[in-house]
Structure 1
Amino acid sequence: MTPFVLGATAVLLAGPVPALLARWRRLHHTPFTAMVLWQAVALAAVLSAVGAGLSLITDSTWNKDHGPLELAAAVLAGLLTVSVVVRLLLSGHRVGTSLRATRRRHREQLDLVAERLGAHGRVRVLDHDVPVAYCVPGVGNPRVVVSGATLQRLDERQLNAVFAHESAHLKARHDLVLEAFTVLHRAFPTWVSSCAALREVQLLVEILADRAALKVGSAKDLGHALLTMAGGRAPEGAMGAGTVDLVERVRVLGELRPRPLQVFLLLATSWALLVAPTALVVAPWLNEL
């Protein structure tokens, strides 16, 4: 029974659950715990898929009366489990290699054509007539990029909010979170709702950076800056302040009251999602000891 429960759980967490979560806009008001929930759903889906195969193999191995059908099922389960792991590893290698190469080239180009902004050692200014701001992650040498039009059209408080937004991305390593969900998105078939998950996580990291920006500027300053940069686009591999669902982000900026009950429920759900498949996989092994 355990393999079937884990298999059904994997299917639910890979398809219907992300599709429903993506439609629950209240999650945007507690972005950190919402991010924890999305990560728990993704990890639990992988654990359930791998655990279903391992459980079926274990049941067939420890069952002394197993016949050809049970043996064939165990072999098939083993192949599926290996397939899931291999697809994840290959996708991780491809996505990671491609992103790091793209960002390295972009940082090198920035150092050649962009100007360094005063005392901001990692801020570069591009001569561009469209307001835009983005960051290019990198271990030890990240870059924050703004266009000349951004400096002209935003005042000091608005610029400080933008710089705080981009610095929050770099400090929290939001790029690694997005990379993990990109790996999942590219590793599995189209029926898996990884596209919805990736879109929501992209929005949540921007809301988290917006919250960090509010520590140095008002919601009005940040909202004005975001709307000013609405026409700008960040290059591949970068994270742009004004590129993801501005309407929803501005709406969330206007509703900042604490929601402790929602935070507690999301954290409890995340914990349960991770513990349940792990316990189902480990229990048969413990019973045989």
Structure 2
Amino acid sequence: MLTPVLLGALSVLLAGPLPWALSRWTALRRTPAAAMLLWQSTALAAVLAALGAGLSLATDRLWQPPVAVGDVAVAALAGAVTVVVTARLLLSGHRTGTDLRRMRRRHRERVDLVARVDDGVSVLEHDLPVAYCVPGMSGSRIVVSRSTLTRLAPAELRAVLEHERSHLRARHDLVLEAFAVLHRAFPRWVASGAARHEVEVLVEVLADRAAVRSGDRRALVSALVALAGASAPEGALGSTGSSIAARVEVLRDTGRHRAQAAAVLVLAGAILALPTLLVVLPWLGSLRHASL
């Protein structure tokens, strides 16, 4: 009976207090790759713990003879909750994926109608500076405005375009989509909003890191400042947004922070392993006991 209680408590911790605390640990942005793994491990572990709590409670009640009517009722209720959680995740995944792909397909079609293509980049005749990418399985688009081309120096423009290309190469849209699914499935019950916002910042930081590896750090910083205030359409990934101040702060930090990265990776592995061990090991023990 201890396993369902532990998993239930763990799912609550991983769904609420821990994401809230991680979202305020801004130093994590200095090691964005490790931080991203930590956020993904936390989200996955929360789902595993929630599902495992219901399944382990059901099997605990049914595998330990004698089985009373109350045990069957508790097992049925636990199984029903597990089914509901799974169904909400699957439905949210379907709706979120369908909506995003439809939105991006329509936006790509509109861009193709009005933009001119210059060296693989779609250029809009627009007075406001914009720079963003629209992911797609059948063809992605990198979109900038004429104002962006005239406002940015060549080095700044190269840095911005590399930022967008890194988004497309790393498929950051799929990472954001996974957290959007969680937020849509459980908008009020868990701290999915904080997780989603911080992951949005991290994918931009990761794209910034990729851009400065092949370009000029100062050029990217000045480009972000020049494009401040611009926003990308819904469903797109833009170089600018509300996280510019945080990203500039990270860009100015040139330290390696290897110790922090290693510690965060260990923490991510421990968080992901904990619900797995709490579910798998007791179930194996129960199976062995039941077979005797």
TM-score tier after normalising by the smaller chain length: over 0.9
Choose from 244, 265, 268 the match for 1:246.
244
What are the within-5 Å matches in structure 2 for residues 92-111 of structure 1?
Answer: 92-111=93-112
- 1:200 aligns with 198
1:73 maps to amino acid? V
Instruction: Write the deviation string for residues 240-263 of structure 1: whole angstroms up to 9, x where unpaired.
Output: 101141111101111120111111
1:2 maps to 2:11:
no
Deviation, 1:228, is: 1.1
- 1:125 aligns with 123
- 1:139 aligns with 137
Q: Counterpart of 2:270 in 1: which secondary structure?
A: helix
The whole-number CA distance in structure 1 between the counterparts of 2:254 and 2:55 is 45
Instruction: Write the deviation string for residues 106-151 of structure 1: whole angstroms up to 9, x where unpaired.
Output: 111111100101xx22x10011111110000011410000010000
Q: Counterpart of 1:264 in 2: which secondary structure?
A: helix
Which segment drifts farther, 177-186 or 239-248?
A: 239-248
- 1:29 aligns with 30
Q: 1:210 to 1:189 in 2, by over 3 A?
A: closer
Please tell me whether the aligned partners of residues 53 and 78 of structure 1 are also in contact (alpha carbons under 8 angstroms).
yes
1:222 maps to 2:223:
no
The whole-number CA distance in structure 2 between the counterparts of 1:31 and 1:185 is 21
- 1:91 aligns with 92
What are the within-5 Å matches in structure 2 for residues 179-198 of structure 1?
Answer: 179-198=177-196
Please provide the CA RMSD for this pair. Answer: 1.0
Deviation, 1:75, is: 0.9
Structure 1: which 5+ runs fail to align?
Answer: none
Instruction: Write the deviation string for residues 14-73 of structure 1: whole angstroms up to 9, x where unpaired.
Output: 000000000001100000000000000000000000000110111011111232322221
Q: Counterpart of 2:231 in 1: which secondary structure?
A: coil
1:210 maps to 2:208:
yes
Normalising by the residue count of structure 2, what TM-score does the alignment of the two structures yield? 0.96
Deviation, 1:189, is: 4.1
The whole-number CA distance in structure 2 between the counterparts of 1:284 and 1:12 is 21
The whole-number CA distance in structure 2 between the counterparts of 1:93 and 1:47 is 19
Percent of aligned pairs sharing the same letter:
56
- 1:115 aligns with 116
Deviation, 1:284, is: 2.5
- 2:75 aligns with 74
Q: Counterpart of 2:213 in 1: which secondary structure?
A: coil
Please tell me whether the aligned partners of residues 174 and 205 of structure 1 are also in contact (alpha carbons under 8 angstroms).
yes
Instruction: Write the deviation string for residues 221-247 of structure 1: whole angstroms up to 9, x where unpaired.
Output: 101111111121111110110114111
Choose from 170, 173, 177 the match for 1:172.
170
Q: Counterpart of 1:134 in 2: which secondary structure?
A: strand
The whole-number CA distance in structure 2 between the counterparts of 1:182 and 1:58 is 32
Please tell me whether the aligned partners of residues 124 and 146 of structure 1 are also in contact (alpha carbons under 8 angstroms).
yes
1:145 maps to amino acid? V
Please tell me whether the aligned partners of residues 56 and 283 of structure 2 are also in contact (alpha carbons under 8 angstroms).
no
The whole-number CA distance in structure 2 between the counterparts of 1:192 and 1:251 is 29
Please tell me whether the aligned partners of residues 41 and 273 of structure 1 are also in contact (alpha carbons under 8 angstroms).
yes
- 1:163 aligns with 161
- 1:65 aligns with 66
Normalising by the residue count of structure 1, what TM-score does the alignment of the two structures yield? 0.97
The whole-number CA distance in structure 1 between the counterparts of 2:89 and 2:80 is 14
Structure 2: which 5+ runs fail to align?
Answer: none
Please tell me whether the aligned partners of residues 160 and 216 of structure 1 are also in contact (alpha carbons under 8 angstroms).
no
Please tell me whether the aligned partners of residues 187 and 193 of structure 2 are also in contact (alpha carbons under 8 angstroms).
no
- 1:282 aligns with 280
The whole-number CA distance in structure 2 between the counterparts of 1:199 and 1:278 is 27
The whole-number CA distance in structure 1 between the counterparts of 2:147 and 2:252 is 27
The whole-number CA distance in structure 2 between the counterparts of 1:191 and 1:278 is 22
Please tell me whether the aligned partners of residues 202 and 244 of structure 1 are also in contact (alpha carbons under 8 angstroms).
no
The whole-number CA distance in structure 2 between the counterparts of 1:241 and 1:205 is 11
Which segment drifts farther, 68-77 or 159-168?
A: 68-77
